[in-house]
């Protein structure tokens, strides 16, 4: 086929232009911003003050930022393990030919449809309430006095309370991705395995899991990206002023760019940009690690 260079250029230009404008320019600008002290996020470049790596070293020495990174890591790791395990479990059950499959699928996915604000209010003001909360009532009914008196939203329990509420909503989403991955695996493999005498557990271990490697990678990357952007739930669990148990780098970034709480605090969009750069590096690192650890090239089906 004869290549028409003009046509290639014509078709590519809009896409390239859009990419440069919408992705490349903001990225380069953000990286550049992270080396400056900038009060207002839209200040013109003439107002920027070059500070070198000062923003990065300030982040490293700020205990609140370190706390926020620690929280993010806990959300990513603990939340990730819980959500992935439950999502996989539900996906396997749902694809195993049970009755009312669509109904259960819809039920588990439902929290994704409900607004986070409504969900968080339910958890905060009802489920965890130490006065008339669901947990309090359930534990009292079971006669577990100690547990019924726990204040789920005090400093010692707030992180777990947040994590449970958040994971509750996330399972459905990852379950769907797993389920579609499992449905892609041909029935023949399972039939053959059944004939050979493999039980369900073995089928899962030797057929489903290996063939789901790619899906795992997708899920972990998606989970990492959404975790890094953890913001709304943190805000809902600590309105107005941030909380040491719920603060994440994104919340810290917001505080630095738009000011914290009701006070007029110092703003520095450069610091916010530095956080953005650090978080991006985290996501890329997780992805590269996933690529290294989970190899899917050896199987084709």
Partner 1 sequence: MKRRFMGIMLSAVMAAGLLAGCAGGASTATTAETTAGGAATDAPKETAAGGGEGLIYWSMWEATEPQGQAIQMAIDKFTADTGVKVDVQFKGRTGIREGLQPALDAGTNIDLFDEDIDRVNTTWGQYLMDLEDLVKTSGYEANANAGLIKACREVGEGTLKSIPYQPNVFAFFYNQTIFDEAGIKEVPKTWEELDAACQKIKDAGYTPITCDDAYITSMFGYHMSRLLGEQGTEAVVKEGKWDDPAVLKTAQAYEDFAQKGYFSETIASNVWPAGQNQELAMGTAAMYLNGSWLPNEVKDMAGEDFKWGCFSYPALDGGKDGTNASNYGAQVLAINKNTKNGENAFKLIEYITQGEFDKKMSEMSMGIPADSRNAEWPAQLASVKPVMESLSVRYPWAAGAEANADLTPIIKENFMKLCGGSITATGFVDALKAAGK
Neighbours of 207 (CB within 10 A): 19
User: Residues 252, 65: contact at Cβ < 8 Å?
Assistant: yes
| Position 240 contacts partner 1 (CB under 8 A) | yes
Binding residue for partner 1, selected from 80, 230, 243, 248, defined by CB under 8 A: 243
Compute how many residues bind partner 1; rule: CB under 8 A.
75
Q: Are 148 and 136 in contact (CB under 8 A)?
A: yes
Whichever of 128 and 178 has its CB closer to partner 1, that residue is 128
Q: Is 232 in the site for partner 1 (CB under 8 A)?
A: no
Tell me how far, at minimum, the Cβ of 279 lies from partner 1, in Å.
Answer: 6
d(CA 207, CA 194): 11
Per CB under 8 A, the list member of 241, 293, 299, 301 interacting with partner 1 is 241
Work out how close the CB of 172 gets to partner 1 at its nearest, in angstroms, rounded to a whole number: 21
Q: How far is CA 76 from CA 193, 194, 282, in A?
A: 36, 37, 11
Residues 6-25 that bind partner 1 (CB under 8 A): 22-24
CB of 80 to partner 1, least distance (A): 16
User: Least distance (Å) from partner 1 to the CB of residue 195?
Assistant: 32
Sequence-distant (≥ 6) Cβ neighbours of residue 56 within 8 angstroms = 34, 274, 278
Site track 24-63 with partner 1 (rule: CB under 8 A), x = hit: x-xx-xxx-x------xxxxx-----------------xx
Q: Give the binding range for partner 1 (CB under 8 A) out of 85-93, 182-190, 191-199, 261-269.
A: 261-269
Q: Buried (b) or exposed (e) across 224-258, using 16+ Cβ within 10 A?
A: bebbbebeebbbbbbeeebbebbbbbbbbbbbbbe
Cβ-based nearer residue to partner 1, 140 or 265: 265
Query: Measuring CA to CA, which residue among 68, 66, 243, 252 is closest to residue 153?
Result: 243
For partner 1, the binding residue among 108, 176, 182, 277 (CB under 8 A) is: 277
Q: What is the phi/psi pair of residue 108, to 5°?
A: -70, -30
Footprint on residues 281-300 left by partner 1 (CB under 8 A): 281, 283-284, 287-288, 291, 296-297
For the CB of residue 255, give the shortest distance to partner 1 in the complex, in Å: 5
278 binds partner 1 (CB under 8 A): no
**Subset of 136-175 contacting partner 1 (CB under 8 A):** 151-155, 157-158
The minimum distance between CB 231 and partner 1, in angstroms, equals 10
CA-to-CA dists, residue 74 to 80, 81, 281, 289, angstroms: 9, 10, 18, 18
Please tell me whether residue 229 binds partner 1 under the rule CB under 8 A: yes
CB of 227 within 8 A of CB of 72?
A: yes
Pick out residues in 88-147 that bind partner 1 (CB under 8 A): 124-125, 129-131
Q: Rounded distance, CA 2 to CA 212, Å?
A: 41
């Amino acid at each position: 086929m004869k290549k028409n260079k003009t046509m290639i250029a014509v078709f590519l230009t809009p896409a390239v232009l859009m990419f440069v404008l919408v992705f490349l320019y903001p990225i380069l600008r953000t990286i550049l911003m992270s080396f400056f002290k900038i009060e207002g996020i839209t200040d013109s470049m003439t107002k920027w003050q070059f500070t070198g790596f000062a923003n990065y070293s300030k982040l490293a020495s700020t205990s609140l930022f370190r706390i926020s990174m620690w929280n993010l890591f806990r959300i990513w790791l603990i939340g990730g393990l819980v959500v992935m395990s439950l999502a996989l479990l539900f996906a396997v059950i749902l694809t195993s030919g049970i009755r009312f499959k669509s109904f259960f699928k819809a039920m588990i996915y439902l929290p994704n449809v409900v607004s986070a604000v409504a969900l968080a209010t339910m958890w905060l003001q009802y489920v965890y309430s130490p006065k008339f909360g669901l947990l309090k009532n359930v534990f009292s009914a079971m006669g577990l006095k100690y547990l019924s008196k726990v204040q789920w939203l005090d400093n010692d329990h707030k992180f777990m309370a947040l994590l449970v509420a958040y994971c509750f909503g996330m399972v459905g989403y990852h379950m769907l991705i797993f389920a579609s991955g499992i449905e892609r695996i041909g029935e023949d493999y399972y039939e053959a395995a059944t004939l050979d005498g493999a039980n369900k557990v073995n089928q899962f271990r030797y057929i489903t899991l290996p063939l789901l490697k790619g899906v795992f990678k997708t899920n972990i990357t998606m989970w990492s990206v959404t975790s890094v952007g953890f913001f709304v739930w943190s805000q809902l669990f600590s309105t107005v002023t941030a909380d040491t148990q719920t603060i994440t780098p994104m919340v810290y970034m917001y505080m630095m760019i738009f000011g914290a709480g009701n006070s007029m605090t110092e703003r520095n969009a450069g610091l916010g940009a530095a956080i953005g750069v650090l978080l991006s590096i985290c996501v890329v690192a997780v992805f590269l690690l996933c690529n290294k650890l989970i190899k899917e090239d050896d199987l084709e089906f």
